[in-house]
Structure formats: C-alpha cells, structure tokens
Amino acid sequence: MTRLYNDPTAFADEMIDGFARASARWVQRVPGGVTRSTRSEPGTVALVIGGGSGHYPAFGGLVGPGLAHGAALGNLFASPSAQQVRHVSEAADLGGGILLSFGNYAGDVANFGRARDELIANGVACRIVTITDDISSAPASERHKRRGIAGDFTVFKCAGAAAERGDDLDDVERIARKANDRTRSFGVAFSGCSLPGAAEPLFTVPEGRMAVGMGIHGEPGIDERDVPTADELAELFVSSLLAELPDDIEDVRGARVAVILNGLGSVKYEELFVVYSGVARRLDAAGIEVVEPEVGELVTSFDMAGASLTLFWLDDELEELWRAPADAPAYSKGSVGPTVAADVWQADDETVAIPEASEASRSAALTVLAAIEALTTIVDEHADELGRIDAVAGDGDHGIGMQRGSGAALVAARDAVERGAGAGTVLALAADAWSDRAGGTSGALWGAVLAALGDALADDAAPDRASVAAGVTAATTAVLGFGASPGDKTMVDAIVPFRDALTAALDAGDSLAEAWSDAADVTELAAAATADLLPRMGRARPHAEKSLGTPDAGAVSFALIVVAVGAVLRDAATDN
C-alpha cells in the first residue's frame, strides 16, 4: 500500500514537483508536466509523451536527450487534460513539429486528440501515434483496440532517437508507427496496487494465484492461475508472444529482437533476473538474436507486484535507433555528448478577461455557482464509493478525478462570479478548469458538458427553458462524440435518458425545476440499470463479466450530480 502522502488529491502535483526538483539536470517543470532542461537543436521535431501518473519511470523519467522532449503528466492513473498536453507541447516546441505519443486509453485519446487539434489551429504541425502493444487486451484482428503497456518504451526510444538525429516530422511519425507495429507485450500480476489514501487495493489476487493479462492501471487480469516458477513464467511469456508475430516475419530463426522484462512496482530486480534467464534461454533455443535487452522498471503500476515481457522485432533501421544514446532521469545509454542548459521556461499570463454580461445573466450566474457548489459537495460525499465502483473492472480513479475536477470548477466559477461574469462565461471557465484539473476521460467529458451548457446559456440574457434544453441537448451530443453509444455501460446510459426525459417534460409545459426533477428521477433509474450491462468501451471492456452487477461509475456520478442540481433549481424557483 501507499504509505507516504499528504492530501491524496494533491499527490500527483506534489510528486511532480519533487521529481522536477530532484531531476533538474534533465527536466524543468512547466504547466502540465515537464520538459527538457537541456538545450535542443532548433528546428527539430519535439516528441511529447504522457499519461497518468503512477507509472514512473514513465513518463517524466523518460524526458531527456535521445528520448522525449516533454511529458504531460496527469493525475494518478488518469490521462493529462488537453490543456496540460498543449502547455507541455508549446513549451517543448522547437519549430520542427510535434509528435504526441501515448498508450491507447480512452481519456488519453480524447485529451491528446483535442490538444493536437488546438496546436494545429495555432499553426503548429502535430501528429499522434497511439501505442497498442498489449496482446491480452484485444485479438490480433482488432489491434487498434489494444492498450499500451511496457511497449510504450520501444516507441518512445525509437521516435526520440529519430528526432534527435534530425529526422523530419513525417519520418519520426513513420518510425513511431513502425516501432508500434513491431512491438508485442504480455503481463501478469500477483497483487493489486493501492492509490494514496485508499484503504484497499484496486483489485486482489487470491494467495498463491496469479492474474494473467492485466494492464498498467490496476485493471484485473483476463485469466487466473497458480503462481508459477520463474521458468514457468518465462515459458508463458515467450510462448504467448511468439504465437503472434509481426506481419512481415514468417520465420523467427535469425530474427533480432529487443527485449524488455519490466517490473510493475514490487517485484525485486533479483527476481526479474531469474525470470530473464529463462526468457533468454528460450529465445536462444528458438534461434532469435537478442539485442541490448532491458531488465528493470520502465513502466510501473504504483506498488503492483507483477511483470511483463515485451518483444520488439527489429530491422536495421529500428536497431540503429534502439542502440542510439539517450540520457534521461530514469534511463541512460551510451553518451549523448555535452549538454547545454536550456532557457528557463516562463509561463504566459493566462488570466481570462471577463466579457460583458447582462444583469439578468449575472444574476443567473449565482444560480450556476450554487449548482456547482452542490455538485462538488455531492461528489465529495460519494468519492470513495465512486472509486470502489470504478475499481471493479477499471482503475479506481473515478472518485478522485471527479473530486479534482469539480473542486477546480468551483474555484473557477467563484472567481468568475466575483469578477462579474454572466452564466455562460461562468460555465465556460468552470468547464476549462474541470477538464484541466481532472484530466482522464471524466475530465474531458465534464469539460465538454459544461462548455456546451455555457454556449447555450450565453451572457446576454437570463437562461430560460429553451436555452437549458438546448444546452442539455448539445452536452449530450458532445458526450456521444467521444464514441460511446447507449448500452456500452458508460455515462451515455445516463445522459441520454436525462436529455430525453427533460426535453419531453419541457415540451409538455412543465417548469424547468419540475422537468429537471422528473428527469433526475429517470436518470437515477437509468444509472442503476447499468449494473445489468456489460461494458463495450474503455478500460473495463476486457473485464466485462467482472462488472456485471455493478453500475457504471460515470453514470452513477452523473445521476448524483443532476439530482443535486435539481435541488438548487427547486430552491431558486421557490425564491422567485
């Protein structure tokens, strides 16, 4: 378990601060993460990586010459927000374009994708390569659905080396995709990991048993078996990975592979070396040449006891990049030559000007603020339960992510109201703060929801039944835009019934407070009904059966929030 922390919601921020101070030779802290503190060649490509915290050395420990130029660091096991990714990218930009690379998880895809779009809109060339190396998370026919685990490192290493030698953006992207296509990983766990402040681990494995095929966010495995000997584990690793070869390799004899035997947090290096002995013997027997293997911790999962094996199938081009020198806080190889300190990065003043608003809209902003206060309170009260629900088949971070996001939204909303903002601007600034502070899928979703409501309510008039209905409809459309459909066991299964019930009641002539209250009742039932669904998206998808009988955390939190907001609307209607 995690023993040393202050406020669990501040753990990631304090960790990043300590890491940057301890690693000043390589990195400097910037809003959203870290960038190199050494000078890089102007005009070259910048590789920006990232993901949730809790995986050190990934991602900040891999920033330095020959590797990444920056890392966007989210909350524990939650993707960084789009704002974080954009800030790190802007700080790392050298003028040759930016390659964003990360593991294939819904929150990362959403937030890095939005950051890419914003960078391109600002005139910065930007590409994305998602990493899909985990063979346990989807069949070979659906490799695009696989998650990224320790194979992240092979892509980062080769893309970083290509950028370092001056390749242009097209080539760095091509090399990253090629490295991903030739990387396969497989992992096991002997015990779950515990987030700071959590009384229980995210999942447990019975004594003497091993979870097979787990991910790096505490996702349970897809199978379970007795704990093997080191040689038996080596056999499981090697046989599983040799069963699926890259498309252009027909015979493994004579092939060259880079090998990563990765510890996930609590397995001792000595144990890993014993397992690697068995791995190496089996690869030798298969006629495979091993090139500069890595045994140790490169992508961890907090304090999880487990390990994974990665095979990276090389050709001449990839081997040169794999062997190339690198120097980062957690990884070094060869000599990168003398380094020169970069200029200290200075943040721009990002204080947002408050646009003019009508008196009616400013008055309505007080109700918006009261609603955000109410939803923050309800999230705080249920954070532990939301985390427990999420941990059944996911990574257990939903409660803490919702706390961070709603708390940031409340701070931003209060500031906006004090500065005379209208209802639309209060919601817009709360949306940006929620998305930025929470990160992860929930941060992206709730940022989109509040932003859509803010656009509909605007600042020029008091919100009415029509504008609220339009805002809820737009918010639902925004959530659906993330790819989920009704029945996938996500927040969609709560927000769609809420939209339908609200608009029907308003069309029937009900007041906003009455319609919202009735729709909230429908939403509570819809959220509870997700217990009968099997997840078809997100981190819970590979563990669908485990979640049967437990409702979706995102649907539950949405229902809690609309009920809390409904109480505020009833009070406001009574006052009027």
> Which 3 state secondary structure label does DSSP give 411?
helix
| First and final C-alpha spacing in the chain | 52
DSSP of 465-503, one letter per residue? HHHHHHHHHHHHHHHHTTS--TTSSSTHHHHHHHHHHHH
Strands of the sheet containing 33-36, edge to edge, are: 27-30, 33-36, 70-76, 46-53, 98-103, 126-131
For 27, the token pair is 């990195």
List the one residue out of 234, 32, 246, 233 whose CA is nearest residue 132.
Answer: 246
User: What is the spatial distance between Cα 441 and Cα 443, in angstroms, rounded to a whole number?
Assistant: 5
Cα distances (angstroms) measured from residue 64 to each of 29, 46, 527, 555: 13, 11, 45, 41
Residues 563 and 513: beta-carbon distance below 8 Å: no
* Residue owning tokens 């996930």: 264
Residue among 142, 298, 160 at smallest CA distance from 216: 298
CA–CA gap between residue 22 and residue 357 (Å, rounded): 47
Please report where in the chains the tokens 């803490």 appear, as a residue.
Answer: 400
Catalytic residues: 217
